Amino acid sequence: MSPNSPDTVASASCSAVCAAAISSSPPNCRRRSRPDPTDFVKRALPLQGLATAVNVTDGAGAKAHMATIAASHFLHQAGIEPILQMACRDRNRIALESDLLGALALGMHNFLVLTGDDPRPATSPTRNRCSISTAPICCRWRSACAGKRSCRRAPTSRARSIFAIGATDVPVDPPADWNPKSLLAKLDAGADFIQTQFCMDAGVVARYGKRLVELGIAPKLGFLIGLCPFHRPNPRSG
């Protein structure tokens, strides 16, 4: 996929085409030397042509890593489509808008807003915002860039071509009275696609997806189901 195709993730996740987004964490701060993105980009290069996009995590495990804007920029320069995570747990509105504008200036057009991992007991979270309150901020900027005065729940192709807004969810085996209030709130806030947490049970995923279609949510939101590859078992282990 070309990094010059803004609607790549939103379109692929909403279509019948199989879309794959691979997560990768930027370098962390364990070593007190100058951060080097070489290994990070090298790990992602084999995914060209295989993954629709590479999801660049933001503060994974509530630990300091290279800023996602910088890490995503390095991937973009290498011809890889990034999904830039924006953990809004410790950012206020000004910080979020500044990061968004900086990322747009560098050519990013896929954003995944989420609350972020709980940092306790290492440090205390500020809990400035959650993902549901952050998506409208992104949506308003997108509408402004598209020359519109307000954020529409169903963005036009012109608005979506500027950048796509993603959010997260946890797949569940839905009971008969299941009401996905969080998903509906994220849809109402302006999300274009949902990236879920890991779910390795195909039956649960099938029932989850079926109910989303029945509720009229799936046609309006694209879904990327989270999977985790298993390590090959060690033949020497008992």
Cα separations in angstroms, 167 against 27, 31, 62, 110: 23, 31, 18, 11
Summary count for the chain: helices (H), strands (E): 8, 7
In this structure, the number of other CB atoms found within 10 A of the CB of residue 160 comes to: 20
Domains of the chain: 8-29+36-226 (3.20.20.220)
Count of CB atoms within 10 A of residue 238's CB?
3
Per residue of the chain (238 residues), give pLDDT as tens. 344 445 557 666 665 455 667 777 887 766 556 778 888 899 889 888 788 888 898 877 777 788 899 999 999 999 988 999 988 877 888 888 899 889 989 988 899 988 876 666 555 554 555 556 667 777 776 777 666 555 544 555 555 557 888 899 999 999 999 999 989 988 888 888 898 888 889 999 999 999 999 999 988 888 888 887 766 665 555 4
Tokens of 180: 């996905």
Taking CA atoms, 65 is separated from 38, 46, 60, 110, 166, in Å, by 15, 22, 8, 20, 21
Residue with tokens 């309150």: 133
All residues at 6 or more sequence positions from 96 whose CB lies less than 8 Å from its CB, including other chains: 86, 88, 129, 134, 137
- Confidence (pTM): 0.76
Q: How many CB atoms lie within 10 A of CB 73?
A: 21
